[in-house]
Amino acid sequence: MYAMKSSNFIHKMFRKYYRSEGSSMLEAPPEIEKREFGFIMFEGGMLRHKGFKSKDELVTFMKDFAPSDAYYSCAYYENPEAEMDEKGWLGADLVFDIDADHIRTPCNKVHDSWICVNCGFAGRGYTPEKCPSCGMEKFEEKTWPCEVCLETAKNETMKLIDILTADFGFSPKEVKVYFSGHRGYHVHVESETVQELDAVARKEIVDYIIGLGLDVNFHGFNVYGSSIIGPSLDDAGWRGRIAKGTYEFLLKASANDFKRLGLRKRTIEKILSQRNHILERWGQRNPWALLKGIVGKNWIKIAEYGAKFQTSQIDTVVTTDIHRLIRLNGSLHGKTGFRKIQIQQNNIESFDPLKEAITFRDGALKVFVSEAPELRVGEETYGPFKECKVELPTAVAMLLLCKGAAEVLNNV
C-alpha cells in the first residue's frame, strides 16, 4: 500500500480527471439500470451492490467519490442493488480477460517480484502457489506493464477475436475490444444470443478457444502409413487453424524444435530438405500429400504442436463467472493511473497501450523512487530506479506512485 501522503495525492489527481475530461471518457454499459457497480475506494474497502439509473448519475458519483477502481457487472439484474441471491439474474454479456499475469513471458523473471505476507520470504518471476519457506498461500505481488508482456497479451487477443468472428460468427459490431489499463486486454461480446448462456455453456466456449481436449486426429486427418490426408488453410474452424499452426511451425522450426517433438534425426533431415517446397505449396488442398517419406504419425505430432499456438490464452475463470465485475471503460486503473480504453478492431495491430492509455499528460512531478525496473511510457524509456529522487513526467510519476514504488515530494 502507498504511504498516506501519496495516496491522498493520487486520489486528488483521480478526482481532477473525473471532474474534467474523465466525465466524457466514461462509457456507460448498455442497460445501465440493470447493472451492479462496484468500487475500490481510496478511503479503503470495496463498495458493492451499487446501481445507477442513468449515465449522468454514474458520472456524478465518479466526480464526487473518484474511486481508485470502478467496475460493473457483466450481468443484467432485475434489482442490481439487492443482495446477491435476490438480484434476479436476467443474463450476462460474454466477457474475456487476457492478462499477462496468466501468460508465461520471458521477462516476468526480470520485472516481477513477490513477497510472502506471512513470513516475508521474497522472490522474482512467477509467484509460486505456496511459499517455499512457510507453505502459506498469500503473497503481495509487484508486476509491471512491460512492452513484451503487453505485446504477448495483444497477440492472444487478436487470436481470440479471430476465433469469435470466424468460428462463432459474431459480427465485429458485437465484439468490443479494450485495453485494461494495466497488463492486458478485455473482449466483450454484447449480443442477445449469448446473454442467457449459463456457466456450463460458457465453459464450452472457453474450452473451444483454449483447445481443451482438442484431438487433431479428428480434424480432417486420415493416415495410412506414409500416405496422409490432412486439413487445408481454407478449412473452417480448428481444421484451418491446425493447417495454419503447422505452417507457422514449419516456417520457423529449427532441427532442435523437431527433436523436442520426439522426431528422429533422419526424419528431421527429410523435412528440412523439403521445407521450402512444402511451404510454397501449403495453400493447396491437402498440402500434406507433398510430404514424401515421412510417416503420418510424425506429422500428427507436428500438427498437435502447431495447433497449440493457435489457441488463445484467456483467463478461463472470468468468462465462466456469470456475475463477474469488469472494469468500467474510461475509468482509471488504480495500479497505474492509465485508463481502460476501447480499441477499434482494425487498429488493434498498431495499438500502443503505453501511449494511448496515458491519462496525465501535463507537467512533471518530483518523486522518491524506492525501486522500479526500466519502463517505457509514451516515446521515452525511464529507469531503472533504486532509492533516488527524480523529476518525471506526470504520467510516469503517477505510474510509480500507483504501484507503490514511489512517494511524492513537495508537489502538494
Instruction: Please choose, out of 47-55, 126-134, 335-343, 385-393, the segment that lies near Zn ion by the rule CB under 5 A.
Output: 126-134
C-beta of residue 378 within 8 angstroms of C-beta of residue 344: no
Mark whether 97 is an active-site residue.
yes
- When the beta carbons of 147 and 356 are compared against Zn ion, the nearer one is 147
Strand-pair partners of 408: 367
Mark whether 162 is an active-site residue.
no
Check binding of 153 to Zn ion (CB under 5 A).
no
- When the beta carbons of 118 and 195 are compared against Zn ion, the nearer one is 118
Q: Which spans in 174-236 are helix H?
A: 192-195, 199-210
Question: Could you give the CA distance from residue 144 to residue 140 in angstroms, rounded to a whole number?
Answer: 13
Instruction: Please choose, out of 120-128, 245-253, 262-270, 393-401, the segment that lies near Zn ion by the rule CB under 5 A.
Output: 120-128
Instruction: Please choose, out of 20-28, 101-109, 202-210, 237-245, the segment that lies near Zn ion by the rule CB under 5 A.
Output: 101-109
Check binding of 146 to Zn ion (CB under 5 A).
yes
Which residue in 19, 81, 121, 270 binds Zn ion (CB under 5 A)? 121
Check binding of 115 to Zn ion (CB under 5 A).
no
Q: What are the percentages of helix, strand and coil residues in the chain, rounded to 5?
A: 40, 20, 40
C-alpha grid cell for residue 35? Answer: 447493472
DSSP string computed for 65-85: H--SEEEEESEEESSTTS-GG
Which residue in 28, 62, 116, 343 binds Zn ion (CB under 5 A)? 116
Q: Give the position of cell 447493472.
A: 35
Check binding of 122 to Zn ion (CB under 5 A).
no
Pick out residues in 246-275 that bind Zn ion (CB under 5 A): none
Catalytic-role residue among 69, 93, 101, 315:
315
Which residue in 131, 303, 396, 399 binds Zn ion (CB under 5 A)? 131
44 three-state secondary structure: coil
Q: Side by side, which strands form the sheet with 122-124? A: 122-124, 113-116, 139-142
* Residue 134 CB, nearest approach to Zn ion (Å): 3
Please give the C-alpha separations between residue 230 and each of 79, 226, 234, 298, in angstroms, as whole numbers.
53, 12, 12, 13
- Site size toward Zn ion (CB under 5 A) is 11
393 three-state secondary structure: strand
- When the beta carbons of 259 and 376 are compared against Zn ion, the nearer one is 376
How many helices (H) and strands (E) the chain has is answered by 14, 20
Q: Give the position of cell 500434406.
A: 288
Instruction: Please choose, out of 6-14, 124-132, 328-336, 392-400, the segment that lies near Zn ion by the rule CB under 5 A.
Output: 124-132
Instruction: Please choose, out of 35-43, 106-114, 164-172, 382-390, the segment that lies near Zn ion by the rule CB under 5 A.
Output: 106-114
* Residue 233 CB, nearest approach to Zn ion (Å): 32
Catalytic-role residue among 99, 167, 198, 234:
99
Check binding of 46 to Zn ion (CB under 5 A).
no
- When the beta carbons of 118 and 191 are compared against Zn ion, the nearer one is 118
Catalytic-role residue among 97, 112, 167, 362:
97
Which residue in 13, 149, 268, 278 binds Zn ion (CB under 5 A)? 149
Which residue in 20, 54, 79, 133 binds Zn ion (CB under 5 A)? 133
Phi-psi region at 326: left, alpha or beta (left = phi > 0; alpha = psi -120 to 50): beta
Question: Could you give the CA distance from residue 30 to residue 28 in angstroms, rounded to a whole number?
Answer: 7
Check binding of 148 to Zn ion (CB under 5 A).
yes
- When the beta carbons of 138 and 386 are compared against Zn ion, the nearer one is 138
Eight-class DSSP state of 398: H
Mark whether 234 is an active-site residue.
no
Question: Could you give the CA distance from residue 23 to residue 17 in angstroms, rounded to a whole number?
Answer: 8
Check binding of 155 to Zn ion (CB under 5 A).
no
Burial track 155-165 (b if 16+ CB lie within 10 A, e otherwise)? bbbbbbbebbe
Question: Could you give the CA distance from residue 298 to residue 202 in angstroms, rounded to a whole number?
Answer: 34
Which residue in 8, 23, 60, 118 binds Zn ion (CB under 5 A)? 118
* Residue 136 CB, nearest approach to Zn ion (Å): 5
C-beta of residue 330 within 8 angstroms of C-beta of residue 366: no
Q: Which residues contribute to the site for Zn ion (CB under 5 A)?
A: 107, 116, 118-119, 121, 131, 133-134, 146, 148-149
**Active-site residues: which are they?**
97, 99, 315
